[in-house]
Amino acid sequence: MSENENNFESLRQLLALKKHEVPPPGYFDRFPNRVVNQIQSPNQFTESQRFFLMVPWLFRLLLEMQARPALTGSIATGVFVVLAAGLIIAGRPDSQATGPSNLLAPVSADGSLALSQAMAPADLMTGVSNAADSSPEGLAISTNLSLQPVASMFGHPNSLVQPASFTGN
């Protein structure tokens, strides 16, 4: 084995150089106190540790993702596919009737809002604000929250909605 030791003498000298890698100055002065503090108050967690303790499954998922890049890639691909599919579906013509592109309601020449029957309540309010931009002085909107439109998934106007009234120019 001593012959082997001689063969590796250069390597040993090189490895011995690692002794020059040191922690930041003062590190060892503070270290014992940190250990003792942690022993005496084991629940003294950092902000991120506390968050991960509240959501242990997320912590496990992050560990898995760090350990398995392939899993991370799969999850990222899955998220991308879902987002892309969502964008494609939203852009289809049959979704335009109730889709986001319809949010800007037309305003007729006399300043009143032209509301289609199929328009969702959310569309209504967007239309009002749009009209308000064009003629801010002639617009009165109820600020009573109970009368504000409630978003509906089915496109039926809410009975509590009152149309905006215009005093006209």
Partner 1 sequence: MTMAAPATNSPAAAEPDEMTLVSQARRGDMDAYSSLVRRYQERIYATMYHMTSNHEDANDLAQESFIKAYQALKSFKGDSSFYTWLYRIAVNKAINFIKQRRNRVQLSLNDLDINAEHDPDLVALVSHKTPHRAAALSELQEKLNAAILKLSEQHRAVVVLHDVQGLPHEEIAEIMGCNVGTIRSRLFYARQQLQGLLAEYLDKK
Q: Enter the DSSP assignment of 107.
A: B
Structure tokens that stand for 30 in this block:
């503070």
Query: Which residue from 2, 3, 18, 110 is in contact with partner 1, where contact means CB under 8 A?
Result: 18
Instruction: Give the nearer residue to partner 1 in terms of CB position, either 30 or 156.
Output: 30
Cβ proximity to partner 1: between 2 and 144 the closer is: 2
List the one residue from 26, 56, 69, 93 that touches partner 1 (CB under 8 A): 69
Q: Does 56 help bind partner 1 (rule: CB under 8 A)?
A: no
* Residue 19 binding partner 1, by CB under 8 A: yes
* Phi and psi, residue 166, nearest 5°: -115, 130
Q: Which of 6, 34, 163, 165 binds partner 1 (CB under 8 A)?
A: 34
Residue from 55, 58, 63, 140 that binds partner 1 (CB under 8 A)? Answer: 63
Distance from C-alpha of 23 to C-alpha of 143, rounded to nearest angstrom: 62
Q: Do 164 and 141 meet the contact criterion of CB atoms below 8 Å apart?
A: yes
Residue 74's nearest CA partner among 65, 87, 83 is: 65
Under a CB-based contact definition with an 8 Å cutoff, are residues 113 and 163 in contact? yes
Contact between 1 and partner 1 by CB under 8 A: the answer reads yes
Kindly indicate which of the ranges 24-32, 78-86, 114-122, 156-164 contains the residues binding partner 1, using the contact rule CB under 8 A.
24-32
Phi, psi of 107 (to 5 degrees): -115, 125
Widest distance between CA atoms in the chain: 104
- Residues of this chain that interact with partner 1 (CB under 8 A) are 1, 4, 8, 10-24, 27-28, 31-36, 38-40, 63, 66-69
